[in-house]
Structures are given as structure tokens and as C-alpha cells.
Amino acid sequence: MFSIEHEFDATIVTLVDEGEQPLQEDVIVSTFEECVTVEQYDPRTDRVNKITLSITQMEDLAAAISLPEGVYVRDEEE
């Protein structure tokens, strides 16, 4: 399950793990004009882990999800 919310300066997607045990904590993806952040609470450390990706890195990740193993360079016109 996931939800999508449009805020003033970001689009926020929350991914909820509904699969088999053990379930993972929710993942929150926030898309801003200049970057994308991915956050997930870690109950072992009682902290939220956060990474920041450039828009280009996020586009590369989205393209890579459905590709086979290998090294790729995206065409800038895509």
C-alpha cells in the first residue's frame, strides 16, 4: 500500500509494507524541486535514516529497476 500527498514544496509518497513477516517500517519519499529524500525509521537505533538523491540519481534509479545486470549511461534526451 502507498499514499501520495502534495505539499506546498514537495510531493510525499509513503510506502507501507503489508507483506509477509517480518514487516519493515514505512518508507517516506519526498520529492522537491532540487532533490529527493528517502527516510525510514530504524527501531534498533531509534533513529530515522535519511538519504538525499539528486533528481538525476533518482531518474537513474527509476530507470535501473527494470533493467538486467550491467553498466548503463542514460541518454540525456530521455
pLDDT (tens digit per residue) in 39-48: 999 999 999 9
* pLDDT, position 21: 85
**Each residue's pLDDT tens digit, 56-70:** 999 999 888 888 888
First to last CA, the chain: 29
Question: Is pTM, for the whole model, over 0.85?
Answer: no
Average per-residue pLDDT for the chain = 91
* pLDDT, position 77: 66
Closest C-alpha to 8, from 27, 29, 32: 32
- The H-or-E segment that residue 41 falls in is strand 35-42
* pLDDT, position 78: 56
Distance from C-alpha of 70 to C-alpha of 41, rounded to nearest angstrom: 31
Q: What is the mean pLDDT of residues 1-28?
A: 92
Of all residues in the chain, the percent with pLDDT exceeding 70 is: 96
Q: Is 36 exposed, middle or buried (0-12, 13-18, 19+ CB in 10 A)?
A: buried
